[in-house]
Amino acid sequence: MTRLDVDGALSQDQDLNELRQRIEGELADYFNSFCASEDLMAQSQWLTHLIDGTFSPGDVAISLNYDCVLEGALDCRGKWSPNGGYGSSLDNTWMCNDRPSTKSPVTVLKIHGSASFIIAPYADKPTAKAVNFVFDEGIFPRSAKNTHIGYGAGTGRSYLIAPSYVKIPTVEISYLMLDALIATAQAKNLVIIGTALRPEDGFLTPWTEDP
């Protein structure tokens, strides 16, 4: 992906850019199949206990994953809502006026984008694009029950940042990255579960001077 990004930037080859977009779309389609549901939570008591016992109001989760299992599970347990659930730069509350939504207790900052994110032109500025998320029952079983609210009126495409050393995020994702760094600096407890950060995510790795 890094080589593809570099070649595309140097040559300004539209075919390479379209190839990258197709790869991102295929990644989004794949990870869209991994979602939480009420049935999953009922069958996986360990997951219910984990969500209930681990996450408290005010917590911030920084996710580098593309799938929506975490926020879906939080939603099932009443710990996520579209009102600030993905951070201040992504908010679909205005699209859900018939569904009053309290401030999301837990925030999930998806700084690599998500299978649920869409990038689309502004209605009044077709040359400019913005990122927001799809509000759908398949992703958010509780808060989006019997609902599908898209973004971009069919003119958008999936938005995620495929693995690459070259990262040029949108304004919205840049704000999420800044929010992630601030949350990390202010955290009383920092818990890391799973694999280490990939080398291409060096900007997230604390820098220390050699002794």
- In tens, the pLDDT along 180-192 reads 888 888 888 776 6
Round to whole Å and give the CA distance between 58 and 24. 31
Instruction: Return the pLDDT at 1.
Output: 86
Kindly state the average pLDDT of the residues 49-71.
91
Round to whole Å and give the CA distance between 31 and 26. 9
Instruction: Return the pLDDT at 208.
Output: 44
Which one, of 130, 111, 134, 132, lies nearest residue 121 by Cα? 130
Give the pairing type, strands 107-110 and 60-63.
parallel
Kindly state the average pLDDT of the residues 135-159.
84
- The amino acid present at 181, given as its one-letter code, is L
Kindly state the average pLDDT of the residues 7-16.
84
pLDDT band for position 193 (50/70/90)? low
Residue 174 has pLDDT above 80, yes or no: yes
Instruction: Return the pLDDT at 211.
Output: 43
Residue 197 has pLDDT above 70, yes or no: no
Instruction: Return the pLDDT at 206.
Output: 55
Compute the mean pLDDT over every residue in the chain, rounded to the nearest whole number: 84
Sign of CA dihedral 153, 23, 89, 121: negative
Q: Is residue 20 a contact partner of residue 5, using CB atoms and an 8 Å limit?
A: yes
List, in order, residues 6 or more apart from 123 with CB less than 8 Å away.
153
Kindly state the average pLDDT of the residues 165-178.
87
- The amino acid present at 123, given as its one-letter code, is A
pLDDT band for position 6 (50/70/90)? confident
Distance of CA 163 to the CA centre of its chain: 15
DSSP bridge pairs for 62: 109
Choice between 66 and 211, residue whose per-residue pLDDT is larger: 66
List, in order, residues 6 or more apart from 119 with CB less than 8 Å away.
129, 130, 131, 152, 156, 157, 158, 159, 170
Round to whole Å and give the CA distance between 172 and 67. 19
Instruction: Return the pLDDT at 209.
Output: 47
Model confidence, pTM: 0.84
Give the pairing type, strands 107-110 and 157-160.
unpaired
Which one, of 93, 113, 112, 89, lies nearest residue 103 by Cα? 93
Residue 121 has pLDDT above 60, yes or no: yes
Kindly state the average pLDDT of the residues 92-111.
75
Instruction: Return the pLDDT at 67.
Output: 93
Q: Report percent pLDDT > 90 for the chain.
A: 28
